[in-house]
Chain A
Amino acid sequence: MSAALHEMTLAMQARALAGGACSAVELAEHHLARVERLNGTLNALLAVGADEALAAARDADARLAGKGEAPGPLTGVPIVHKDIFCTSALPTTCGSRMLDGYVSPFEATVVKRLREAGTVLLGKANMDEFAMGSSNENSFFGPVANPWDTSCVPGGSSGGSAAAVAARLVPAATGTDTGGSIRQPAAFCGLTGLKPTYGRVSRHGMIAFASSLDQGGPLARTAEDCAHLLRAMAGFDPHDATSSTREVPDYAAHLELPLAGLRIGVPREFFAEGLDTTVGDAVHAALGELERGGATLVDVSLPHQRHGIAAYYIVAPAEASSNLSRFDGVRFGYRCDDPADMEDLYERSRTEGFGPEVKRRILIGTYALSAGYYDAYYRKAMQVRRLISDDFARAFTEVDVIAGPTTPTPAFAHGAMDDPIAMYLNDLYTVSASLCGLPAMSLPCGFAGALPVGLQLIGQPFDEGRLLGVAHRLQASSDWHERVPEAFERASDTERQGEERARS
């Protein structure tokens, strides 16, 4: 084996495990050693469960050796879950003081399915508190560094997941996306990340931010990896009334999609004011590559796109203000010291337990739903949501997928966005697909200086297979996804020794 274990993609690791080229225990040990060595710089992972991971890896090896349960497609592959997914072995904090040390009595459907598919859980990934943020600076457990430039943010809210995969602490991670929380960190960290169609992946056990928008999805290095992960994560769940009963296709079988005849819509609104030129150039270059591969680029318009941010920042906080009411200090989570009475218990538990961005959104959402304001804000936002959906539906009568930048700019420096509105504008291109429940992904398509740039693909409902296919074609003819942040490329001497020992 020539490549160090962490240099392999998830699919390569799965093949190596199946072929006996390495063991699950080796993979777990190797990646745990990298976590040990590198996570201090990144703060990408919160809880790390080394003992549990090694036990799961031994179990995976037994399965691979034909003992016990038959191995799944991902048996033995290490993974981390965003700390928004409830796990029963490790705490689930959602990046908040409110849930510091909280251990869920049940596990999320996504966690269960990926465990049953054989993945080995190494730990939980840092995130913006309650998934509210675009920089991972809103975590109670501290910010996360971008492996490409540790002075920059990794994006958010799935910033810990993205940094962990980009730094090769793990080949893949789960994330959640409410208005761009998978796609934006994927773009900032040079990864491939997919937000599935609303309802494709169960939300059971995924702590709610904005229930009508939240979707779990994979963050990995390639479209192929995402295809394997999504196949394992997706599917109807009787515990989630919004999950779809539609059959889950074998996404990996969709990867060899011919580009010839494919119509790619390029919305002019995605290239208007606000877009960084280096980002725009990289995206245009990638679109040109797809065109050379046989696809047709079609100019389309999404006239209501410009209202997306406004609508999103009413609908999402409105739902959040209600979803986060359960964090009241009564049954679980943070409780203030010596409450004087019930009001005091509520007020101080929530004042002390939530961070500033969460409080801001609860206030915005509460306001938007209040008597006298509901029609002007919430109802209006829902109408805008419908108009944006109509725009997409119209565009999809002419094209198969829509493509554009994932973010207006590459990753920015820690502390650079001190104005919440400027921060919200990061979601300019991602919120629309969320508002409409459409599948969307980001994949690396170039660099702006040392920082990766993401290409966003948006599809029709349940057309994840086609998105993955387009991404795979681009990845077959480019190497953006193979770039590694220099500081995190090499194996340490100990890791190398470990591998040599394992191989001999």
Chain B
Amino acid sequence: MNAGPRPLMERGDTPGRRALRRLLRRRGAMLGLAILLIFIVLAIFAPWIAPYDPVAASWSAVRKPPSAEYWFGTDEIGRDVLSRVLWGARASLLAGLVSVCISMALGVPIGLLAAYVGGWTDGLISRFTDSMLAVPFLILAIALAAFLGPSLTNAMIAIGVSATPIFIRLTRAQVLAVKVEDFVEAARAVGNPHWRIALRHILPNVLPPLIVQATLAIAAAIIAEASLSFLGLGQQPPAPSWGSMLNTAKNYVDNSPWMAVWPGLAIFMLVLSFNLFGDGLRDALDPKHK
């Protein structure tokens, strides 16, 4: 049945709804979201789903290959790899989310301030941002984690601080473009205070690219956390983390390869899900980008 031509803009159709419709049509983004949701569910329900205690060693089950009893096999001290992978999802998701929250909590207000105030404040912030960007991301994170001390919390702080300049730069660029728009001028003309113009009129309009960047930054932060844990600077043993599991696994790759396959595959799938979703979100929010 032909319903006839649809009006260009339906009643109550907002840019947000149109973006959501475009997002829902992107198969890659939906696949990413589905994988991500599975990981979130597994992480939340890990205590109930995991068949064994993730830190309990069993000397009678050292480096057992995958079997009906141990689906993903066991590690060098007889811990169940499946249970550790499930619990490890918590550390990875937490690290990804918390680090990006730190980056945004620092980067967005600083970028907003730089662009809104301008002048020497902007100059100073911009030079400082350039300097932070001059230090390779992971090397800065390693250095920060080394000086703060090895722990998951410090790794999250190190990754969050290292990724902050990206958000400062992006927010600044977006605010510079928006602050000259007519609606901001109008808000200023009716006597709104600066904080209100910045937070109520400018900030909501620069959020879409920041959300896209945040999604992709979570993917980078998860790899960074796994890297720091792989180097021994993240989650400390015996607590399960995919990076530290791979660090141990590399010593047993010749006779117990399952120890390396599953945690690596888990990092890959989780990072892929964020990248797929982030790419789809970017295309949905900015249809010109392709």
A and B physically associate? no
